[in-house]
Amino acid sequence: MPASLPPVKNSRFELFASTAPGLESIAAGELKTLGARGRQEIGGVAFAGDLDRLYEANLWLRTASRVVVRLGQFHASTFYELERRARKLPWAEFLPASGPVRLRVTCRKSRLYHSDAVAERVIAAITESASRVVENSAAGINDEGGDADHAEETEHAEDPAAGESELGIGEVPSQLFIVRIVHDEVEVSADSSGELLHRRGYRKEIAKAPLRETLAAAMLLASGWRKGEPLLDPMCGSGTIPIEAALLARGIAPGLHRKFQFMSWPTFDESLWNEVLEKARGSMTNSIERIRGSDRDSGAVHAAERNAERAGVADTIQFSAQAVSGSIAELEDVEKGTGWILTNPPYGVRMGESDDLRNLYARLGTELRAKQGWRAGILTTDAALIRQTRLSLVPRFSTRNGGIPVSFLVSEKPAKTIVHAENVGIQRSTGED
């Protein structure tokens, strides 16, 4: 029988925080900090919680793409079974008073293999349950033969060109329902986030090869960097890494200034949400951190400064327009503790391989080895380029950035100078996605 989850304050929900591939363990750590015990699955973390937990997860998770409520699971090998059991799900409790419904349907190794036909039956069930006309604004997706259980929540959802739309002022939000059929077992979920969670609201201006906010946060959380430790991104572009570091250091919830899909649900508890917001605001600090960002492109630096202002952390970050060697040369040796250089340099795939790139990586390594107490965290995809740094690096996670496979590597201790890139899980760049 499908599980019915009436969204009232004391109800328990089966929830799922989707992530980019490879970030599941980091998101699980975030949930643990929130007091939730998660179970890692491919493409995210499953956990249980009440409305407080649902609201907090959307507000606080820095590495998740979205949070969904699992409405029910049931067997269906025929359209009759699908329609009959789908009608019993509590659709109306997750529908705005008006506006379209979007469906994301994947079918794998099942008798019901045609995603568009499945979408038609599910829309009919929603219409009957909600007692109003439901507009379907998106066709289903057929993932037959895919190898990732949660491909709809990773590859497709992580691609900003895959049909996700931002909500403008006054627009009626559309509700996304996710339907997965694997081996004739149907799982139905309701999206509670709306816009993907990386859209914090501050990054209105971007530079070349932008880094997604969720990935920047993953780098910070996986590196070992801690609040109060000096941090520099010498190739900061539009400032995503320094801004995410400032938000983390000052205890600012990443979703503090945005809206979520659950706000349009008929059972939205506004008083409870305000309590969650007030608690989050109370955890913010005004401490000034030693966080810096630099880039040789002055236009990118100006964009980073404006993004930091929108994020409310402009007074926490020092930006400058200068080359990598200049920005690192200004760093003081760290006599006690550790300083960090975290960066997302060009890979060669997106921006073209050349001697300049090899020299860039070599210069980065040379400058860092000359700085006592400083450690590095580098996101890259090219083993040949990372070897140029001559740093001893170990992998923390592998994922995708803009469709490109990447690995995040961290120097274990200062003063080590040899890296064996073939042993750290970095693929050689081929120029192809």
Q: Which domains does the chain have, with CATH numbers?
A: 13-191 (3.30.2130.30), 213-251+285-423 (3.40.50.150)
| Positive/negative CA dihedral, 61, 64, 68, 72 | negative
Residue 420, pLDDT > 70, answer: no
More confident residue, 416 or 93: 93
pLDDT value of residue 88: 94
Mean pLDDT of the chain: 84
- What's 377's DSSP letter? E
51-60 vs 270-282: helix crossing angle, rounded to 10: 50
Question: Which one is predicted more confidently, 196 or 402?
Answer: 196
Task: Report residue 432's pLDDT band, with 50, 70 and 90 as the boundaries.
Answer: very low
Q: What b/e string do you get for 134-149 counting C-beta neighbours within 10 Å, with b at 16 or more?
A: bebebebbbbeebeeb
Confidence of residue 413 (pLDDT cuts 50, 70, 90): low
pLDDT of residue 16: 98
Strand partners, 107: 181
Burial tier of 278 (Cβ tally within 10 Å: 0-12, 13-18, 19+):
exposed
Residue 136 vs residue 7, higher pLDDT: 136
Q: How many residues does the chain have?
A: 433
Q: Which residues on adjacent β-strands are paired with residue 41?
A: 44
What stretch of H or E contains 57? helix 51-60
More confident residue, 91 or 208: 91
Q: Give the Cα separation of 404 and 401 in Å (integer).
A: 5
**pLDDT for 2:** 41
Q: What is the pLDDT of residues 44-103, one digit of tens each?
A: 999 999 999 999 999 999 999 999 999 999 999 999 999 999 999 999 899 988 888 999
Which of 18, 323, 236 minimizes the C-alpha distance to 148? 18
> How far apart (Å, rounded) are the C-alpha atoms in residues 226 and 339?
10
* Least confident among 125-129, 219-223, 241-245, 313-317: 125-129
Q: Taking residues 98-124, what's their average pLDDT?
A: 93
Structure-token pair, residue 108: 């794998």
Residue 20 dihedral angles phi and psi, to the nearest 5°:
-70, 150
Angle between helices 240-249 and 298-311 (to 10 degrees): 30
Q: Which residue type occupies 57? A: A
Instruction: State whether the Cα torsion 265-165-210-44 is positive or negative.
Output: positive
Greater model confidence, 166 or 129: 129
DSSP 78: S
Q: Contact 428/382 with Cβ under 8 angstroms? A: yes
Cβ atoms < 10 Å from Cβ of 266:
11
Q: What is the pLDDT of residues 326-380, one digit of tens each?
A: 999 999 888 778 899 999 998 865 444 567 888 999 999 999 888 888 999 999 9
Give residue 166's pLDDT.
Answer: 35
- The conformational region for residue 388 under phi > 0 = left, psi -120 to 50 = alpha, else beta, is alpha
Q: Which residue has the tokens 């995809």?
A: 381
pLDDT of 5 over the 50 cut: no
What gap in Å lies between CA 176 and CA 166, rounded to an integer?
Answer: 13
Confidence of residue 151 (pLDDT cuts 50, 70, 90): very low
pTM of the entire predicted model? 0.86
Predicted confidence at residue 356, as pLDDT, reads 82
Round to the nearest angstrom and report the end-to-end CA distance of the chain.
42
Instruction: Express each pLDDT in 225-242 by its tens digit.
Output: 999 899 999 999 999 999
The whole-number pLDDT of residue 383 equals 86
DSSP conformation letters of 182-247: ETTEEEEEEESSSS-TT--S---S--SSPPPHHHHHHHHHHHT--TTS-EEETT-TTTHHHHHHHH
Give the amino acid at 360.
L
133 falls in which pLDDT band (50, 70, 90)?
low
Supply the DSSP symbol for 205. S
Over residues 243-262, the pLDDT tens digits come to 999 999 999 999 999 999 99
User: Half-sphere exposure (CA, 13 Å, Cβ side) for 141?
Assistant: 21
Cβ atoms 110, 179 nearer than 8 A: no
Cβ–Cβ < 8 Å for 360, 320: no
Alpha-carbon separation of residue 78 from 81, 90, 113, 139, 320 (angstroms): 5, 21, 10, 20, 62
Better pLDDT: 143 or 134? 134
Instruction: Work out the average pLDDT over 420-433.
Output: 41
- pLDDT at residue 9 in the model: 57
Which pLDDT score is estimated for 253? 98
Residue linked to tokens 């999206």 = 191
